[in-house]
Structure 1
């Protein structure tokens, strides 16, 4: 349960202000919100299952080095904090591709999200979490966190018809990553 809750919160925060949220809003202008959310859920579940598999393999291979893994994971989260402040932007070309995707909504959105998430900070954060936490809880939590954040973006985009205040979201998400990173480092050093 701890892995599920931690992963849900961490990935939800990681997704705030991410390019994927902008993609979700863009797709929701073309397709039904329900179809966009279903496609996001399927793509996220697949990517995060692979991420968790990588994280578990890394964690079990280095079981004797859990303190080191905590410190490295903490440093990774500090990097994610900086990455979040730097921000992701959806280029006009990417937005146009999202609007002009042909074929079924589920296939178009699912494929776009699957490809967009490969190597993204949420994938890397999921791998990092899975090195120390249970794989199933991490997988479900990371998937739920990402889908919830993207559903929030779709809902807010539909209700308000404009983007979230990006600067506030970036700062809040970066602070959350900073706190998680410092806690992991403190655990690795033995302070917690």
Structure 2
């Protein structure tokens, strides 16, 4: 349950103001069809984070628990720093309209999420918790928590949330996870 809850919370916070959330705003404004956009986001996230989680689980099988502890601790601290860097949105991510709303969203989100903060976080969380299903479910729910309101409420939300504050909160959570991991938290769980 901890893997699911932490994964959900971290990704929901990290996603606020992220380029994929900006993509959700743009797709919602362009197509005005929330259901296929939401389903496209869900499908893209499940595939992308499933792949990222599998990599995280695979990495844990390659290195010793002690080495993994240092890799994860450093990775979480690096994520804390990276999350404070604002994302830049590429308009090309939203220019796939000839494929229909669902397919456009699926492709655009999958590509935008490649190498993104939340995908990298999924790799680290899957490695830390060694619970692929809970982590992928949590990161996917976190993405949906941040992006579904963006699709449904669009401009009203964009003007009321201060992404910099939310990013600072997420950065603090990543730092706490990183330091706790470096100090041996979770070592009783094989990390």
User: TM-score with structure 1 length normalisation?
Assistant: 0.85
Task: Assess, with a 3 A threshold, how the Cα gap between structure 1 residues 180 and 132 changes in structure 2: closer, same or farther.
Answer: closer
1:116 aligns with 2:112: yes
After the TM superposition, which segments of 4 or more aligned residues of structure 1 sit over 4 Å from their partners? none
CA contact (8 A) 2:28 2:152 kept: no
Task: Assess, with a 3 A threshold, how the Cα gap between structure 1 residues 163 and 23 changes in structure 2: closer, same or farther.
Answer: farther
Alignment RMSD, CA only?
Answer: 2.2
Post-superposition Cα deviations, 1:54-113, rounded to whole Å, max 9, x if no partner, equal: 111111222xx223212221211111111111110224x34xx52672231000011000
1:85 aligns with 2:84: yes
Structure 2: give runs of 5+ residues left out of the alignment.
none
Hey, what does 1:185 align to over in structure 2?
182
Hey, what does 1:127 align to over in structure 2?
123
Task: Assess, with a 3 A threshold, how the Cα gap between structure 1 residues 139 and 100 changes in structure 2: closer, same or farther.
Answer: closer
Task: Assess, with a 3 A threshold, how the Cα gap between structure 1 residues 179 and 153 changes in structure 2: closer, same or farther.
Answer: farther
Task: Assess, with a 3 A threshold, how the Cα gap between structure 1 residues 71 and 188 changes in structure 2: closer, same or farther.
Answer: farther
Task: Assess, with a 3 A threshold, how the Cα gap between structure 1 residues 26 and 55 changes in structure 2: closer, same or farther.
Answer: same
Deviation, 1:163, is 6.5
User: TM-score with structure 2 length normalisation?
Assistant: 0.86
CA contact (8 A) 1:7 1:145 kept: yes
Measure, in 1, the Cα distance between the counterparts of 2:50 and 2:22: 23
174-183 or 105-114, which deviates more: 174-183
How many residues are matched? 185
Counterparts of 1:1-192 in structure 2, within 5 Å, are: 1-31=1-31, 32-62=33-63, 65-91=64-90, 93-94=91-92, 98=94, 101-133=97-129, 134-160=131-157, 162=159, 164-187=161-184
Structure 1: give runs of 5+ residues left out of the alignment.
none
